[in-house]
């Protein structure tokens, strides 16, 4: 039985540098969503990849004395390595220099050209090479790029144009009538005012350099890198691979995307140009584009160009991959800018992971070892009020978690798990099993308390899995349970009482050994 298709994409990352905390942030969030949707029985397809064309790449290659293809081939493995390091479970990794993409992009463009949505014109304007974007004189800020503040060049060329202006009314209707198409709301308003300010036709070809996909109807031109890049989301699903403007293979079932994650700096491309392109070509629109915020260090965007000492690898080395994934999704509200720092990461690690979660597991597994020779006691048949309270935390978790994930509130989802984790810690403190262990007549109560606490831990681990797959697998293994990554119906697995009495429990090392600030 295969579930309902669920397609999630990250932006494809530009290959002018190795992956940094920002690209890792988007990718980890997408991975947590992909993992959770697999646990809700969906047939998930998770795409990420690389944007390998454009003048910036050609320049970087030239500076390094290699061809552009050699250059991108040299950088691409660094992305794959970081995604492996972060346990990213993408189903595909597309590179825009792959034939499947080039064929698809050309098929798409030919269709627009043949139906008159693309025409030849003349362009002049101020061009920012790092942003690969043209600006009108009045858009410049003190004569420099309004987006990145760098130097712009005056360029003149014959270009092909996409009739973006013809889709203005369509876009306004789309955004106004589909409130969840662009999330969060601040981004939606931003795109709406951009569209309402009047759309100009978009120059979609270049003749000043050669590193791009040749236009199928005029090979003196290469495709504008953004136009090329956006198409990856459908070419990865086989759009145009047979030379025709259509989805030809089995992967077409995943389109339209359920959600496309983008950074807030690229919403004009994803929320205005992209839907206009798709609509023009008669392709369905993604159900949602979600723009996350920036990671800020001391109030400044953590950007690759400004340099940043911490890399995903250095943080994983210090905190471990699960804690890395947890920190960024728990500490930053997805959709807003968030400050990140080593201090707050150490705090989250020691507080939430070492104290709340890791300690709970260690204490509990140790007590099972000590009092029950490492065997899960029977499930109690009678419940006290405190037992009921604990079970209530577990009972509301699936719905609270699902609601939070529906609005891509990863922090809220984790908070709902922590209600159970903290509730279980409180329960243990309150019931004091070490006291119950002192007398034979309180042994039935000791069994009940430890069974309940173990069951709460089993359920908490289940909901930690999308964000912290390694430690959750570990907890399940220690509880003598099967492969947590095979769970296909998380709500059913989260029902109370699924932990079999008689299972062997292994104690093991602490899940999150405490970290000291000066380490």
The contact set with Zn ion (CB under 5 A) reads: 128, 130-131, 145, 147-148, 150
Cβ proximity to Zn ion, 76 vs 131, nearer residue: 131
Cβ proximity to Zn ion, 56 vs 478, nearer residue: 56
Cβ proximity to Zn ion, 148 vs 266, nearer residue: 148
At its nearest, how many Å lie between Zn ion and the CB of residue 133? Answer: 7
Q: Tell me the H-state helices in 161-224.
A: 168-177, 185-196
Q: Which residues contact 447 (CB under 8 A, 6 or more apart)?
A: 372, 377, 378, 380
At its nearest, how many Å lie between Zn ion and the CB of residue 139? Answer: 11
Are the beta carbons of 156 and 123 closer than 8 angstroms? Answer: yes
Report how far residue 382's alpha carbon sits from residue 388's, in angstroms, rounded to the nearest whole number.
10
At its nearest, how many Å lie between Zn ion and the CB of residue 123? Answer: 17
Structure tokens given for 87: 């346990």
DSSP state of 303: -
Cβ proximity to Zn ion, 147 vs 389, nearer residue: 147
Report how far residue 431's alpha carbon sits from residue 63's, in angstroms, rounded to the nearest whole number.
67
At its nearest, how many Å lie between Zn ion and the CB of residue 102? Answer: 26
Report how far residue 498's alpha carbon sits from residue 81's, in angstroms, rounded to the nearest whole number.
37
Q: Tell me the H-state helices in 94-218.
A: 99-114, 168-177, 185-196
**Alpha-carbon torsion (74, 75, 80, 81), positive or negative:** positive
Cβ proximity to Zn ion, 148 vs 342, nearer residue: 148
Cβ proximity to Zn ion, 104 vs 130, nearer residue: 130
Cβ proximity to Zn ion, 13 vs 255, nearer residue: 13
Cβ proximity to Zn ion, 150 vs 200, nearer residue: 150
Report how far residue 69's alpha carbon sits from residue 192's, in angstroms, rounded to the nearest whole number.
38
Count Cβ atoms below 10 Å from residue 495 Cβ, excluding itself. 13
At its nearest, how many Å lie between Zn ion and the CB of residue 516? Answer: 42
At its nearest, how many Å lie between Zn ion and the CB of residue 279? Answer: 28
DSSP letters for 408-474: T-HHHHHHHHHHHHHHHHHHHHHH-HHHHTTSGGGHHHHHHHHHHHHHHHHHHHHHHTTT-HHHHHH
Structure tokens given for 59: 């320049």
**Alpha-carbon torsion (207, 212, 213, 214), positive or negative:** positive
At its nearest, how many Å lie between Zn ion and the CB of residue 72? Answer: 21
Phi-psi region of 160 (alpha: psi -120 to 50; beta: other; left: phi over 0): beta
At its nearest, how many Å lie between Zn ion and the CB of residue 250? Answer: 40
Q: Helix, strand or coil for residue 64?
A: coil
**Alpha-carbon torsion (386, 391, 394, 398), positive or negative:** negative
- What angle do helix axes 55-63 and 68-85 make, rounded to 10 degrees? 100
Cβ proximity to Zn ion, 74 vs 150, nearer residue: 150
At its nearest, how many Å lie between Zn ion and the CB of residue 143? Answer: 12
Q: Which residues contact 201 (CB under 8 A, 6 or more apart)?
A: 121, 161, 162, 163, 164, 165
At its nearest, how many Å lie between Zn ion and the CB of residue 131? Answer: 3
Cβ proximity to Zn ion, 131 vs 375, nearer residue: 131
Cβ proximity to Zn ion, 301 vs 514, nearer residue: 301
At its nearest, how many Å lie between Zn ion and the CB of residue 162? Answer: 21
DSSP state of 287: S
Structure tokens given for 63: 């500076």
């Amino acid at each position: 039985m295969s579930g309902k298709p669920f397609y999630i994409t990250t932006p494809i990352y530009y290959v002018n540098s190795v992956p940094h905390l920002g690209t890792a942030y988007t990718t980890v969030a997408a991975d947590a969503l992909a993992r959770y949707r697999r646990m809700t029985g969906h047939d998930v397809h998770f795409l990420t990849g690389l944007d390998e064309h454009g003048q910036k790449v050609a320049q970087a290659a030239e500076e390094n004395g290699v061809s552009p293809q050699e250059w991108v081939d040299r950088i691409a493995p660094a992305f794959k390595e970081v995604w492996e390091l972060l346990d990213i479970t993408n189903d595909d990794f597309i590179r825009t220099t792959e034939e499947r993409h080039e064929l698809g992009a050309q098929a798409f463009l030919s269709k627009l050209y043949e139906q008159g949505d693309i025409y030849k014109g003349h362009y002049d304007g101020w061009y920012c090479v790092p942003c690969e974007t043209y600006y009108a004189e009045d858009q410049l800020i003190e004569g420099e790029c309004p987006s990145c503040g760098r130097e712009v060049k005056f360029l003149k060329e014959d270009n092909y144009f996409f009739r973006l202006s013809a889709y203005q009314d369509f876009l306004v209707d789309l955004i106004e009538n589909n409130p969840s198409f662009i999330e969060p709301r601040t981004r939606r308003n931003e795109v709406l005012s951009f569209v309402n300010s009047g759309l100009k036709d978009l120059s979609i070809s270049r003749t000043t350099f050669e590193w791009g996909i040749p236009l199928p109807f005029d090979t003196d031109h290469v495709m504008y890198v953004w136009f090329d890049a956006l198409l990856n989301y459908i070419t990865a699903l086989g759009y145009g691979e047979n030379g025709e403007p259509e989805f030809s293979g089995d992967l077409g079932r995943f389109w339209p995307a359920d959600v496309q994650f983008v950074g807030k700096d690229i919403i004009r491309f994803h929320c205005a140009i992209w839907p206009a392109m798709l609509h023009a070509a008669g392709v369905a629109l993604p159900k949602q584009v979600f723009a996350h915020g920036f990671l800020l260090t001391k109030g400044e965007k953590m950007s690759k160009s400004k340099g940043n000492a911490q890399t995903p690898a250095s943080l994983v080395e210090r905190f471990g991959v699960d804690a890395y994934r947890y920190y960024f999704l728990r500490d930053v509200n997805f959709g807003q800018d968030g400050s990140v720092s080593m201090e707050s990461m150490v705090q989250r690690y020691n507080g939430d992971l070492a104290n709340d979660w890791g300690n709970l597991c260690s204490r509990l597994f140790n007590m099972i070892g000590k009092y029950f020779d490492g065997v899960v006691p029977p499930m109690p048949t009678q419940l006290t009020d405190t037992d009921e309270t604990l079970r209530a935390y577990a009972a509301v978790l699936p719905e609270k978690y699902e609601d939070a994930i529906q609005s891509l509130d990863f922090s809220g989802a984790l908070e709902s798990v922590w209600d159970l984790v903290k509730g279980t810690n409180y329960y243990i403190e309150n019931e004091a099993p070490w006291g119950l262990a002192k007398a034979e007549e309180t042994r039935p109560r000791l069994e009940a308390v430890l069974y309940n606490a173990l069951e709460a831990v089993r359920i908490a681990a289940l909901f930690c899995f999308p964000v912290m797959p390694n430690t959750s697998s570990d907890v399940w293994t220690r509880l003598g349970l099967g492969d947590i990554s095979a769970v296909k119906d998380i709500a059913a697995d989260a029902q109370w009482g699924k932990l079999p009495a008689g299972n062997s429990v292994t104690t093991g090392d602490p899940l999150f050994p405490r970290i000291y600030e000066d380490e």
